[in-house]
Amino acid sequence: MNMDLTNIRFPRFFVGRVVRGEPLILSGEDLHHATKVLRLKIGEKVVFCDDSGLEYICAYTGADSFEILAERENDSEPKVHLRLFQCAPKSDKLDLIVQKATELGASEIIPVISKRCVSRPDSSKKSNKIARLEKISEAAAKQSGRGKIPLVHEFTSFSDALKLHKKENLGIIFYENGGIGINEIIAKHENVCNVDVFIGSEGGFEPLEIEAANSAGLITASLGKRILRTETAPIAAIAVIMNLLGEM
């Protein structure tokens, strides 16, 4: 009896373009993980993703090569494209934020430098920090069964971040000094396809930044009666938004 492979979870790898009928090749850290960490044996199965929305179930054929056995739709990628604009927090909190945002379905993470940011990495450290965040995003995407790795952008200023927001997108900026309830906002935009979420650093946003955000088309929002830490707020916000939009 042939086993139905369509609903089984296998180790996951992200690759470039997949060509049907040709073997898939792993290299570098992925090959090391497959052969030295997972210790794959001939015939054991993994999943390859190529950003097409499909997943390819493959069997290990030895060395660095895999054979495609079947393909299936990836059902974990949300239909809503959510971009998280996260003002840079202190210490390594951004690591946790990127990991959890990826697990919850964010499509892009944009680190932002606002006026009250204490953490301001210099140019010599920014590239290393982004490279680490990209690895965290990839690992979280593999663990959570994503079909795509969320894009982690370079650090940008708050004013430039506002320029990235398109007025046809639903833009939400969370403010500790009050705003419209997130349930009310989503109820008026339940068919939205693109959401931009702005979260402040430990010091929150300055009033002038909120005014600039409102002028750019963002809605000032509240997550409730309690003040959340900067590393908690994006996790709560994305989870609530995705749940209200039917993407959890």
Inter-helix orientation angle 233-244/93-104, to 10°: 10
Share the mean pLDDT of the chain: 90
Indicate the domain borders of the chain.
12-73, 81-244
How far apart CA 132 and CA 115 sit, in angstroms, is 24
CATH of the domain spanning 81-244 = 3.40.1280.10
- Which is it for strands 219-222 and 170-174: parallel, antiparallel or unpaired? parallel
> How many residues are recorded in the chain?
248
* pLDDT tens-place string over residues 197-231: 999 999 889 999 999 999 999 999 998 888 889 99
| pLDDT more than 70, % of the chain | 96
- Average pLDDT for 111-137: 86
* pLDDT tens-place string over residues 29-38: 889 989 999 9
> Which range has the worst mean pLDDT, 156-160, 192-196, 206-210, 224-228?
224-228
The reported pLDDT for the residue numbered 128 is: 87
Class of domain 12-73: mainly beta
Contact predicate 60/34, CB 8 Å: yes
Answer whether residue 11 shows pLDDT above 60: yes
The reported pLDDT for the residue numbered 2 is: 46
- Average pLDDT for 167-178: 92
The reported pLDDT for the residue numbered 203 is: 87
Q: Which amino acid is at 33?
A: H
Answer whether residue 83 shows pLDDT above 90: yes
Q: Do domains 12-73 and 81-244 have the same CATH topology?
A: no
The reported pLDDT for the residue numbered 7 is: 59
How far apart CA 114 and CA 58 sit, in angstroms, is 45
